[in-house]
Structure 1
Amino acid sequence: MRIDLHAHSTASDGTDSPAGLVAAAAKAGLDVVAITDHDTTAGWAPAAEALPPGLSLVPGAELSTISVDPVTGRHVSVHLLAYLFDPESPALVAEQTRLRSERRWRLRVMAERMAADGLPVDPDEVMSLLPEDGSAGRPHLAQALVRAGVVSSVNEAFGSHLGNGSGYFVARQDTLVEDAIDMIAEAGGVTVIAHPFAYSRGATITVDVLTDLARRGLTGVEVDHPNHDEETRVQLHGLAGELGLVRTGSSDYHGTNKTIDLGDETTDPLALEELVSRSTGYEVVTR
Structure 2
Amino acid sequence: MREKMKIDLHSHTHHSDGALSPKELVDRAHNMQLDALAITDHDTVAAIDEARSYQQSQKRPLWIIAGVEISTRWHGFDIHVLGLNLNHQDAGLLARLATQSQAREQRAQEMSAKLAKAGIEGIYADAKALAGVGQLTRSHFARALVKRGAVKDHEEAFKKYLGKDKRAFVKPQWPEIPEAISWIREAGGKAVLAHPARYDLSAKWLRRLLVFFAESGGQGMEVTHPQLAPDLKRQLASYAMEYGLEASAGSDFHFPGRWTELGRNLQFDSQLTPVWNDWQRPAA
Mark yes or no: TM-score above 0.5: yes
Question: Structure 1 residues 286 and 24, CA, compared in 2 at 3 Å: closer, same or farther?
Answer: farther
1:204/1:146 Cα in 2 relative to 1: closer, same or farther (>3 Å)? Answer: farther
Q: Distance in 2 between matches of 1:202 and 1:154?
A: 25
Corresponding residue for residue 15 of structure 2: 11
Q: Is the 8 A contact 2:248 2:274 kept in 1?
A: yes
Q: How does 1:46-85 map to 2 (within 5 A)?
A: 46-51=50-55, 52=58, 53-67=60-74, 74-85=75-86
Q: Does the 8 Å CA contact 2:123/2:141 hold for their aligned counterparts? A: no
User: Shift in Å at residue 207 of structure 1?
Assistant: 0.9
SS at match of 1:50: helix
Q: Aligned partner of 1:75: which letter?
A: G
Paired residue for 1:206? 206
Q: Sequence identity of aligned pairs in percent?
A: 32
Q: Give the equivalent residue in structure 2 for 1:192.
A: 192
Counterpart Cα distance in 2 of 1:145 and 1:202: 32
Question: 1:142 — aligned with what?
Answer: 142
Deviation at 1:4, TM superposition (A): 1.0
Q: CA deviation at 1:176?
A: 0.9
Q: Distance in 1 between matches of 2:126 and 2:46?
A: 22
Q: Please, which of 258, 268, 273 is the counterpart of residue 276 of structure 2?
A: 273
Please list every run of 5 or more consecutive structure 1 residues that lacks an aligned counterpart in the other structure: 68-73, 278-283
- 8 Å contact from structure 1 (residues 5, 266) kept in 2: no
Contact 2:226 2:259 (8 Å CA) reproduced: no
Q: Which residue of 1 aligns with 2:171?
A: 171
The number of equivalent residue pairs is 274
**CA separation of 1:59 and 1:85: change in aligned 2, threshold 3 A:** same
Cα shift readout 1:260-285 (whole Å, capped 9, x = no counterpart): 222234256972532526xxxxxx66
Q: What does residue range 256-267 of structure 1 map to in structure 2 within 5 Å?
A: 259-266=259-266
**Residues 276 and 199 of structure 1: CA distance in aligned 2, closer, same or farther (over 3 Å):** same
Q: CA deviation at 1:173?
A: 0.6
- Deviation of 1:258 after TM superposition, in Å, equals 8.8
Cα drift, residue 18 of structure 1:
1.0
Alpha-carbon distance between aligned partners in 2 of 1:194 and 1:84, rounded to the nearest angstrom: 15
RMSD: 2.8
Deviation, 1:91, is 3.0
Higher relative contact order at CA 8 Å, sep ≥6: structure 1 or structure 2? 1
Matched, 1:88 2:89: yes
For the residues of structure 2 that align with 1:138 and 1:14, how far apart are their CA atoms?
13
Instruction: Work out whether residues 192 and 218 of structure 1, in 8 Å CA contact, stay in contact via their aligned partners in 2.
Output: yes
- TM-score of the aligned structures, taking structure 2 as reference length: 0.85
* Residue number in structure 2 paired with 1:71: none
Do 1:250 and 1:267's aligned partners in 2 also have CA atoms closer than 8 Å?
no
Find the partner of 1:20 among 19, 24, 45.
24
2:36 alignment partner AA: V
Q: Which residue of 2 aligns with 1:70?
A: none
Encode CA deviations 1:214-252: one digit per residue, 9 max, x unaligned.
133211100113474333322221121122211122111
1:76·1:205 contact (CA, 8 Å) conserved in 2?
no
Deviations 1:133-157 (A, max 9, x none): x422111112212322334443443
Q: Residues 253, 148 of structure 1: CA spacing in aligned structure 2 closer, same or farther, 3 A cutoff?
A: same
Deviates more, 1:13-22 or 1:229-238: 229-238
Partners in 1 of 2:103 and 2:257 — Cα distance? 22
CA contact (8 A) 2:17 2:135 kept: yes
CA contact (8 A) 1:224 1:249 kept: yes
Q: What is the letter of the counterpart of residue 239 of structure 2?
A: L
- Equivalent residues of 1:120, 1:148 under 8 A apart: no
Amino acid at match of 2:136: A
Is 2:47 aligned against 1:40? no
TM-score, normalised via structure 1 length: 0.84
Provide the C-alpha distance between the structure 1 equivalents of 2:191 and 2:241, rounded to a whole number of angstroms: 16
Verify the 8 A CA contact 2:67 2:88 in the aligned structure 1: no
Bigger drift between 102-111 and 264-273 goes to: 264-273
